[in-house]
Amino acid sequence: MKESGVNVWLINTGWTGGPYGVGSRIKLKYTRAMISAALNGDLDEVSPETYTTHSVFGLKQPRTCPGVPEEVLSSRKTWNDDEGYYKAAYKLSESFRDNFKKFEEYANEEILAGAPNIK
């Protein structure tokens, strides 16, 4: 990916605003807008002014995206429950780490450094 200069985008096409049963599916028009922005290069300028880094997963999140309300771009802000959000985020990050253990022997330090933060 580095050699070819490929960008990788993770787009929330699922749940937002709280856990299942509390939140809702992200609107399809927002998913489409995010995909269009990624393909059109609208999200290519990465700087502290244009992106924030997720505190648990270490992923860069755009602060703005054409056609998407800013609050939708921050999953924490959609929850209206910081404690519940972080509890769920840390549980998910632990699940990622636990699942990855079966692949650790094949991973180099760079890959291992990309694991979610667990507190």
- Decide: 93 and 85 in contact? Cβ < 8 Å: no
Question: Tokens 């490929």, residue?
Answer: 6
How far apart CA 69 and CA 78 sit, in angstroms, is: 11
H helices present in 1-119, as ranges: 28-40, 75-79, 82-100, 109-112
Which range is least confidently modeled, 45-49, 94-98, 113-117? 113-117
* More confident: 37 or 112: 37
How far apart CA 119 and CA 43 sit, in angstroms, is: 30
Encode pLDDT of 15-49 as tens digits. Answer: 899 988 899 999 999 999 999 999 999 999 888 89
Q: How far is CA 42 from the centre of its chain?
A: 17
Encode pLDDT of 70-86 as tens digits. Answer: 989 998 999 989 999 99
105 pLDDT band, cuts 50/70/90, is very high
The yes-or-no verdict on residue 117 having pLDDT over 80 is no
User: What's the predicted TM-score (pTM) here?
Assistant: 0.81
- Decide: 35 and 43 in contact? Cβ < 8 Å: no
Among residues of the chain, what percentage have pLDDT more than 70? 98
For residue 52, the cross-strand partners are 61
The yes-or-no verdict on residue 63 having pLDDT over 80 is yes
- Paired tokens of 48: 């502290």
Domains of the chain: 15-112 (3.90.228.20)
**Cα atoms found within 13 Å of the Cα of residue 111, Cβ hemisphere only:** 10
End-to-end alpha-carbon separation of the chain, Å? 30
